[in-house]
Amino acid sequence: MSDKKRMIVSAALRVFARKGYRAASIQEIAEEAGVAKGSIYLHFKSKDELALAAVSDVYDRVRRRMAELESDDGLTPRERFIRQLEAQLAVGSENAEWIRRLWHDHATEIHEALPGFVLRIRAETADWLQRSIRSVYGEACGPYACDIALLMQGAIGEFIGYFLLGGKPLEPQRLARYLVARMDDIAAGLSGSGERPLVAGDELEALVRSLAGGCGPALRQTAIRELREQLEALRTDGADTGELEEAVGVLEAETAKLLPNRVILRAMLGHVRALAPEPLRPAIDRLEREMQQM
């Protein structure tokens, strides 16, 4: 997103938070951003499209912070999970008034694409939760990872809804630690229960795919992570992978967005393929197959 578009989106978020989506006007957003009204229409076709970009911007900020924490090797799996959960809750807290207004204005009517994005976010969250649970608790909880993930997803959503929609202050650190402590209770109970899990890993993966329109964003991210791992192995063997790693980084950042630019994705994928040595071709082929379904 260009600096000008980001400035307009930030202004829109402030106006939506003060007045609500339906009461806000493009003129008010233009005045808030310090630009001419016509400048907004150069970047966004309508207020609906601007609202969708605002939702995307908030979510992309969460994704960037999550990715930063994911690559922090100084954190244990448990610390990483807590920090990532805190990051999500913090963004919710920072945008509390905008979220409340969006909810009361019947968010699903704002743009025809928004319900699909909500499903995508739910799918990505479920995938992140079950992967984190496997990492935090190990094989003992492996069979129950999907069950725990779905229980936690429901708990997180309900607590956020209670605090934000009820107008109560949300304390990200306190709530994150409370939720993780409850996750400990659930994991301990299930791992010692001997019960048969309700949801298997392949079932959740199928759900992620279906909610994301056939090809889950999390699966694209997995393909990119595998490509990165192979790149690291090549670098360890002495290969010069600098330019290729930079290209993969751009591809990864664009893929993580709620509204990725398909032109950029196609161009960067072609660049990655042109730079990659033969051992990386299978991983790139897989990533390309995932990208084709976007």
The separation between CA 234 and the C-alpha centre of its own chain, rounded to angstroms, equals 29
Output the pLDDT for position 163: 86
Token readout for 163 is 């605090």
Burial annotation 203-225 (CB, 10 A radius, 16+ → b, else e): ebbebbbebbeebbbbbbbbbbe
Residues 123-136, mean pLDDT to the nearest whole number: 89
Rounded CA-CA distance 33/40 in Å is: 9
Of the ranges 81-85, 127-131, 173-177, 262-266, which one carries the lowest mean pLDDT score? 262-266
Output the pLDDT for position 127: 84
Determine if the pTM surpasses 0.75: no
Q: What angle do CA 107, 109, 111 make, to 5 degrees?
A: 95
| 103 close to 95: Cβ distance less than 8 angstroms | no
Q: Which of 78-82, 124-128, 167-171, 214-218 has the highest mean pLDDT?
A: 78-82
Quote the DSSP letter at residue 170.
P
pLDDT band at 114 (very low <50, low <70, confident <90, very high): low
Q: Give yes or no for residue 215 having a pLDDT over 50.
A: no
Q: Give yes or no for residue 172 having a pLDDT over 80.
A: yes
The end-to-end CA distance of the chain, in Å, is 19
Q: Give yes or no for residue 68 having a pLDDT over 90.
A: no
Residues 113-134, mean pLDDT to the nearest whole number: 80
Output the pLDDT for position 164: 80
Could you give all domains of the chain from N- to C-terminal order, each with its CATH number?
1-73 (1.10.10.60), 75-212 (no CATH), 215-291 (no CATH)
Q: Give yes or no for residue 183 having a pLDDT over 90.
A: yes
Span 12-47, pLDDT tens digits: 888 888 887 778 889 999 999 999 988 898 888 888
Single-letter code of the amino acid located at 225: R
Measured on CA atoms in the order 82, 84, 88, 94, is the torsion positive or negative?
A: positive
Q: Give yes or no for residue 201 having a pLDDT over 80.
A: no
Output the pLDDT for position 85: 94
Output the pLDDT for position 256: 66
Output the pLDDT for position 162: 87
Q: Give yes or no for residue 80 having a pLDDT over 90.
A: yes
